[in-house]
Structure 1
Amino acid sequence: MHFDRKDYSNDTLLYLYQHLLKPRLIEEKMLILLRQGKVSKWFSGIGQEAISVGSTLALEPDEYILPLHRNLGVFTGRNVPLDRLFAQWQGKTTGYTKGRDRSFHFGTNEHHIVGMISHLGPQLAVADGIALADLLDNRQKVTVTYSGDGGASEGDFHEALNVAAVWQLPVIFIIENNGYGLSTPSREQFRCNYFIDKGPAYGMEALQIDGNNVLEVYDTVTRLAEDLRRNPRPVLLEALTFRMRGHEEASGTKYVPQELFEEWAQKDPVETYEKWLLAEGILDEEARMRFRETIKREIEEGLRVADAVPMPTADVQEEVADMYAPFVPSAEHDLSTKHEALSTSDKRYVDAISDGLRQSMERYPELVLMGQDIADYGGVFKITEGFMAQFGKARVRNTPLCESAIVGAGLGLSIKGKKAMVEMQFADFVTCGFNQIVNNLAKSHYRWGQNSDVVVRMPTGAGTAAGPFHSQSNEAWFTHTPGLKVVYPSNPHDAKGLLCAAFEDPNPVLYFEHKLLYRSVSAPVPDAYYTTPIGKAALVRQGETISIITYGAGVHWALALADELNLDADILDLRTLLPWDQDAVRETVNKNGRVLLLHEDTLTGGLGGEIGAWIAEHCFEHLDAPIQRVGSLDTAIPFSPNLEKQFLPQQRLREAVDRLLNY
């Protein structure tokens, strides 16, 4: 192996050596502790240390790095305290996730590191968001993120690179090509010869380096970072290396030919660099031993501190509370706390959403809008029409068709203190960004204290004869996910107020807006900025006989039927589906004793089942009749208007009301 020192001083070369040695010695200790049962699992980076160490030390301390399983050198290179690192691996409270996650599944903004989730690929898009924030703030910074050769097969890899190329984001995508994705060799992972073959297809530079040569890694990333800070753009950097142990220790290495181990043992990144330093007289035997003993003492001291920390004590209140970033809504703009009259204008549902979005953009200069066709075109429903002229293309961003990457970028923006809105062109398309929402946005605060200040707008609902892929009511997919908030306004007043409230809230909010209501419903809406409290239902009609609990279009169906039949009914509009208003539900149930739960979503697995179970558990003694549930048919949504009418629940609503009244 050839080491080209160029103009680097002896101090720099020895600095690299110490940082290269440290993760190797930690790993050797961890493998012992693993066999002793003191560490539950271990993903070894032995043989790959030069990539993490060289790239980390090449960056400025406040530039973000997004590592994976085998990047211990990132954490040691950023001087993460070893006692906290060891506590993290032991599941202790002083670890970065309070015992809630393991390995490198955590981030630390103090050290400008955003750790992985097990799905690997999604973190590449988070790097895009971090780099975008730097661009928007005119900060000359670069972001580094890693992928293994296996993870590079995921769609998130393609989406993240494509977005970075289109937006010219200063991201270095480092591919650690060690020849295997767990046990699957490269020839069964991809057909190109190397990952650098992919770069030109994305319109980005692609370089290949010896990933076992720490000096080559350091020099290459140093030069790239300096260039990208001045001339922002993404670069694909393929580092050729080899994993000397199993994917994780339990998997073993029997699937790897022995001759590969023999070949790559001659290229060991620590041993080869150490031998070169000794041969060049840069390192002597005394210093070599001194470095080792110093690091070993640091390891033992870190373990001593971590071992003394008790295992977490389970606390239900703390666990539930930590799913969300703390937030107390300001009463300043909550109209429910005010009594003075405000000037209003008659607005359609769609106009109220646009108004709330515009006023939130004015209120929060850090807010960035992202979505397909939302800039020049104004969105397919024209909600952002004129926004680009007012706020500029930097904040109103057209995106490629890559929902996962854009949601992930929203989290990256949050990490840098910004707010993000992601518009799904139709709620149906959120499936392509599902993993980012339920595993990244929803869990980040619980895992490592990082809030996800992202609002995902979801045009939803049937009634427009749009068929199975533009009409679904999929809110129940997300009401089952702790960490998210889900709102669903039924009228223009709440449409604006809930959207403004969603942007104020630092937690991820899914905002469902019914397409059929866009231009069919109008009402007086305050002209000034205001918020409608998230988590509070609204009693839109009062009666003494039955209670209809609903939301979205169901509110209008219930009101129409109540007018037609002159029903003496409470109609409770939930407005927020997660968390839903248990106090309001309890009050109307206890008052009337006859309850009907109505939603446009299909019946099985819909939110009505959850609320019905809660009522049966908590209000059973007040019930005078069986709880009735009404929803759409348990089928996909048909295209033909007659079939769609049968699918929707209006006719079944009338029948259920009759049953409830006559019980």
Structure 2
Amino acid sequence: MRYHIGDLDHQKLRDLYVGMLKPRMIEEKMLILLRQGKISKWFSGIGQEAISVGVTQALKDEEYILPMHRNLGVFTSRNIPLHRLFSQWQGKQSGFTQGRDRSFHFGTQEYKIVGMISHLGPQLGVADGIALADLLGRKKRVTAVFTGEGATSEGDFHEALNIASVWNLPVLFCIENNGYGLSTPTNEQYNCEHLADRAKGYGMESRIIDGNNILEVFSKVDELCKAMRKRPRPMLLEFKTFRMRGHEEASGTKYVPDKLMAKWAKKDPIANYETFLLEESIISQEEIDKLKEEISEEINENLKKAFDEAPVSSNETKELSEVYHKFDYQHIESKEELNNIRFVDAISQGLEQSMYRHNELIIMGQDISDYGGVFKITEGFTSKFGKSRVRNTPICESAIVSTAMGLSINGMKAVVEMQFADFVSSGFNPIVNYLAKVHYRWNEKADVVIRMPCGGGVGAGPFHSQTNEAWFTKTPGLKVVYPAFPADAKGLLNTAINDPNPVLFFEHKGLYRSVYGDVPKDYYTLPFGKANLLRTGNSITVVSYGAGIHWALEVLEKHPIIDADLVDLRTLQPLDMDTVYSSVKKTGKLIILQEDTLFGGIASDISAMVMEECFQYLDAPIKRVGSLETPVPFAKSLEENYLPKQRFESALLDLQAY
């Protein structure tokens, strides 16, 4: 292996050596502990240390880096206290996830590290968001994100590269091409000679780097970082290396030919570099022995500290209280007159006033800039806030949601408009696996609102008509809002944007231009988890939300003999069950109306909870009414039959007569 010192001084050459030696010695110790059953799992980066160490040392301490589970050298190069790393791997309280996640699945703002999730792809988009925040803040910084050659087949990889290229984001996309995705060799993963060649398709620069040569890694990455800080742009780096151990230790390496293992063993990044330093008299054997002794002592001392720590304890109250980031809701009353406006105008007004209130708020979505979005909610926004804050996106929902997460990590807020709520399925993974879990895992907020134009009744067919709130009410860590009236929509949207937690904000597009209401002109907020009692009565409780509220009102007006409480839930997570319980205890009867298909919807959970809490007060079986168990049809007659409005009327009359 050939090394080119360039203008690096001896101290830097030694630092790079120590930087690789430390994670190697930690790994060797961890493999012993794994065999002893003292840690549960290990993903080895032996043979790949030069990449982690070289890239990290080329970055500034304030620049974010997003590693994977073979990048121990990133964590040690950022000088994370070893006892905290060891506690993390043992599931102890002093770890970064308090026992809630394992190995390298964590982040830390203190050290500007954002760890991976097992669904590898989203972290690439998160890097885009972090870099976008730096770019908008005019901070001359680079963000580095790691992935393996296997994950480059995921859609998120391609989406993230495309976004970074279109927006000229200073992201180093670092591919560690180590030969195998678990047991699948590269020739079964992709059909191009070099993964770096994929950059051409995205209008990006790329480099191929010898991932086992520490001087080549550091020098080239350092040079690129300096250039990218001056002229922001993305860079795709393919590090050629090899995985000398199994995907994780239990997998082994029997599937790797012996000759291939022997070939790469000769390219060991530490052994070769150590020989070079000795030959060049940059370091002596005595100094190496002393370094190894010091590192060994540090490892043992910190291991003892971690082992001596008590096992993490389970506390139900604490666990439940840390699913969401703390939100100190501030109630802001309106002080101006009311205007009678449409639902769609209330959404637009709330969004615009929030943009003025939060200079760090970014809106992203397809066609939302000059065009104003397909529903014209952001029409005129670019002239007021500029295209840097009102951003058209490529058609790549997954990476845009991840980008929003990155903006939040780097101190900004994001509102993402799904063109139609149906399209959220293309961004489902980062919502339910990244945004929803991030606070519980490592105490990081996800200050993101996903706007969801939804619902049927407009003849839009199976792919533009779903009301899919139940996909998200099931997922701890998400909040779900579903207003029925313009004033509620504006006040709740303002609160959603203020809330540092991820919010799915459902807006029934059938209400956009058909429902009017008196809405305060100025900025105000409404609390989550507070249902609205629209009508009061003594004989029956009707619970609904969204368009269902308007159907219920219409039916109740048609049958004035029905003396009903009508409860508009407004938010589904958090859910105001106290109002429902109070009403049911008074009326003794309950009917729940939802537009979503019946099975597995929010009505089922409300019914179950009322049965558990109010059984002795019930005078009749609880009724649930929802849409047919089919996709949403297109033809008007079919859609009318699909939607639950007529079935609700019949069920309500039956319950009244029970």
**Is TM-score (shorter-chain normalized) higher than 0.5?**
yes
Aligned mates of 2:483, 2:173 — CA distance in 1: 41
5 Å-filtered alignment, 1:484-563, equals: 484-563=478-557
What is the aligned residue count?
657
Query: Which amino acid is the alignment partner of residue 442 of structure 2?
Result: W
Query: Which amino acid is the alignment partner of residue 373 of structure 2?
Result: G
Aligned mates of 2:636, 2:255 — CA distance in 1: 57
For residues 146-167 of structure 1, give each alpha carbon's deviation from its aligned partner in whole angstroms, at most 9, with x where no partner exists.
Answer: 1101111100000000000000
Query: Which amino acid is the alignment partner of residue 80 of structure 2?
Result: V
CA drift of 1:342 comes to: 3.5
8 Å contact 1:52–1:72 — kept in the other structure? Answer: yes
For residues 493-536 of structure 1, give each alpha carbon's deviation from its aligned partner in whole angstroms, at most 9, with x where no partner exists.
Answer: 00100000001111000000000000000011000100111111
CA drift of 1:263 comes to: 0.1
Aligned mates of 1:253, 1:622 — CA distance in 2: 64
Find the residue that maps to 1:113 and give its secondary structure. Answer: coil
For residues 607-657 of structure 1, give each alpha carbon's deviation from its aligned partner in whole angstroms, at most 9, with x where no partner exists.
Answer: 000110000001111111000000000100001010000000011001111
- Look up the match of 1:179: 179
Aligned mates of 2:657, 2:136 — CA distance in 1: 63
8 Å contact 1:46–1:244 — kept in the other structure? Answer: yes
For residues 329-350 of structure 1, give each alpha carbon's deviation from its aligned partner in whole angstroms, at most 9, with x where no partner exists.
Answer: 013x056xxxxx6411111000
5 Å-filtered alignment, 1:90-109, equals: 90-109=90-109
Q: Does residue 278 of structure 1 match 2:278?
A: yes
Aligned mates of 2:67, 2:49 — CA distance in 1: 12
- Look up the match of 1:223: 223
Aligned mates of 1:417, 1:177 — CA distance in 2: 32
Aligned mates of 2:309, 2:449 — CA distance in 1: 38
2:389 pairs with 389, 395, 398, which one? 395
For residues 7-34 of structure 1, give each alpha carbon's deviation from its aligned partner in whole angstroms, at most 9, with x where no partner exists.
Answer: 1000000000001100000000000000
- Look up the match of 1:167: 167
8 Å contact 1:462–1:516 — kept in the other structure? Answer: yes
5 Å-filtered alignment, 1:612-631, equals: 612-631=607-626
Aligned mates of 2:336, 2:46 — CA distance in 1: 66
Q: Does residue 597 of structure 1 match 2:612?
A: no
- Look up the match of 1:262: 262
For residues 572-619 of structure 1, give each alpha carbon's deviation from its aligned partner in whole angstroms, at most 9, with x where no partner exists.
Answer: 000000110011111111110100010000000110001100000011
8 Å contact 1:599–1:632 — kept in the other structure? Answer: yes
Q: Does residue 374 of structure 1 match 2:368?
A: yes
Find the residue that maps to 1:19 and give its secondary structure. Answer: helix
Aligned mates of 2:258, 2:534 — CA distance in 1: 73
Give the RMSD, CA atoms, in angstroms: 0.7
Find the residue that maps to 1:11 and give its secondary structure. Answer: helix
2:421 pairs with 418, 427, 441, which one? 427
For residues 353-395 of structure 1, give each alpha carbon's deviation from its aligned partner in whole angstroms, at most 9, with x where no partner exists.
Answer: 0000000000000000000000010000000000011000000
Q: Does residue 587 of structure 1 match 2:572?
A: no
Find the residue that maps to 2:192 and give its secondary structure. Answer: coil
Query: Which amino acid is the alignment partner of residue 511 of structure 1?
Result: F
Query: Which amino acid is the alignment partner of residue 304 of structure 1?
Result: K
Aligned mates of 2:124, 2:32 — CA distance in 1: 33
Aligned mates of 1:291, 1:121 — CA distance in 2: 38
5 Å-filtered alignment, 1:194-233, equals: 194-233=194-233
CA drift of 1:69 comes to: 1.1
Aligned mates of 1:646, 1:407 — CA distance in 2: 35
Query: Which amino acid is the alignment partner of residue 236 of structure 2?
Result: L
Structure 1, unpaired ranges of 5+? 336-340
Query: Which amino acid is the alignment partner of residue 344 of structure 2?
Result: V
Query: Which amino acid is the alignment partner of residue 471 of structure 2?
Result: W
Aligned mates of 1:100, 1:17 — CA distance in 2: 34
Aligned mates of 1:148, 1:453 — CA distance in 2: 28
- Look up the match of 2:572: 577
5 Å-filtered alignment, 1:406-445, equals: 406-445=400-439
Deviates more, 1:378-387 or 1:653-662: 653-662
CA drift of 1:234 comes to: 0.2
5 Å-filtered alignment, 1:632-643, equals: 632-643=627-638
Find the residue that maps to 1:236 and give its secondary structure. Answer: strand
Aligned mates of 1:86, 1:509 — CA distance in 2: 34
Find the residue that maps to 1:361 and give its secondary structure. Answer: helix
Aligned mates of 1:417, 1:176 — CA distance in 2: 29
CA drift of 1:179 comes to: 1.1
CA drift of 1:417 comes to: 1.0
Aligned mates of 1:323, 1:187 — CA distance in 2: 42
1:607 pairs with 586, 602, 606, which one? 602
5 Å-filtered alignment, 1:267-416, equals: 267-331=267-331, 333-334=332-333, 342-416=336-410
1:455 pairs with 426, 438, 449, which one? 449
1:656 pairs with 622, 644, 651, which one? 651
Query: Which amino acid is the alignment partner of residue 302 of structure 1?
Result: N
Aligned mates of 2:21, 2:502 — CA distance in 1: 41
- Stretches of 4+ aligned residues off by more than 2 angstroms: none
Aligned mates of 2:568, 2:333 — CA distance in 1: 18
Find the residue that maps to 1:47 and give its secondary structure. Answer: coil
- Look up the match of 1:125: 125
Aligned mates of 1:294, 1:83 — CA distance in 2: 16
Aligned mates of 1:523, 1:100 — CA distance in 2: 46
Query: Which amino acid is the alignment partner of residue 631 of structure 2?
Result: A
Aligned mates of 1:543, 1:661 — CA distance in 2: 12
For residues 48-89 of structure 1, give each alpha carbon's deviation from its aligned partner in whole angstroms, at most 9, with x where no partner exists.
Answer: 110000000011001000000100000000001000000000
1:465 pairs with 441, 449, 459, which one? 459
Identity rate, percent: 60
8 Å contact 1:91–1:99 — kept in the other structure? Answer: yes
Find the residue that maps to 1:126 and give its secondary structure. Answer: helix
8 Å contact 1:169–1:232 — kept in the other structure? Answer: yes
Find the residue that maps to 1:109 and give its secondary structure. Answer: coil
Aligned mates of 1:557, 1:209 — CA distance in 2: 63
Aligned mates of 1:524, 1:472 — CA distance in 2: 28
Query: Which amino acid is the alignment partner of residue 373 of structure 1?
Result: D
Aligned mates of 2:541, 2:271 — CA distance in 1: 75
Find the residue that maps to 1:490 and give its secondary structure. Answer: coil
Aligned mates of 1:442, 1:424 — CA distance in 2: 17
Aligned mates of 1:19, 1:591 — CA distance in 2: 69
8 Å contact 1:334–1:533 — kept in the other structure? Answer: no
